[in-house]
Amino acid sequence: MTAIPETPDRRAALTHEIAARTGLGEDVIESFLRAFYGAARQDPLLGPAFVGVEDWERHIATLTRFWGSVALMTGGYHGQPMRAHTTLALTPTHFARWLDLFERTAREHLSPEGAEHMLERARRIARSLEMGLIPLALPAAKRPMASGVHP
């Protein structure tokens, strides 16, 4: 099978098609993100994780590029999301709350198609971040050092 070449024209056509189908665009995504992070900063569980963010305009700009790449195929983001979260000591509860808040904000601010489009991607990325960042909780008996049998 021949790979379809990824050209700027093809990217632009895809972005256009997604925007027409979902009502999403970079401006819509940016104002959604402002609402989402406004709420996340107020959230008792998530808020403390964001106190270290020194420049919120920069964070919103990075996240707008990230979601533009993920949801609109704009290709403008080149960062490393996994690395950005390694020192935050996130737990499965953080991820569940993040997704819950993301869903509520998306349903309030986006069209139904736009919300589904963003949510499908958010769930997938959250799962892979969670799996990469949090070691699997094994039952005590199966933890390597738990039985007193040392290698």
Least distance in Å: CB of 126 to ligand HEM?
A: 4
Least distance in Å: CB of 145 to ligand HEM?
A: 28
Give the other-Cβ count within 10 Å of 72's Cβ: 23
Q: Which residues of this chain interact with ligand HEM, rule CB under 6 A?
A: 46, 49-50, 53, 59, 62-63, 66, 79, 81, 84-85, 88, 90, 94-95, 98, 122, 125-126, 129
Closest CA to 116 of 16, 21, 12, 13: 21
Least distance in Å: CB of 21 to ligand HEM?
A: 21
Instruction: List CB contacts of 73: < 8 A, sequence separation 6 or more.
Output: 11, 14, 15, 18
Give 127 or 143: the residue with its C-beta nearer to ligand HEM.
Answer: 127
Cβ-closest position to ligand HEM: 79
Q: What are 105's two structure tokens?
A: 């904000």
Give 12 or 125: the residue with its C-beta nearer to ligand HEM.
Answer: 125
Contact in structure between 99 and 118 (CB atoms under 8 Å): no
Give 32 or 98: the residue with its C-beta nearer to ligand HEM.
Answer: 98
The residue type found at 126 is: A
Least distance in Å: CB of 15 to ligand HEM?
A: 19
Give 19 or 126: the residue with its C-beta nearer to ligand HEM.
Answer: 126
Q: How far is CA 14 from CA 6, 19, 39, 71, in A?
A: 11, 9, 31, 10
Contact in structure between 18 and 74 (CB atoms under 8 Å): no
Give 11 or 59: the residue with its C-beta nearer to ligand HEM.
Answer: 59
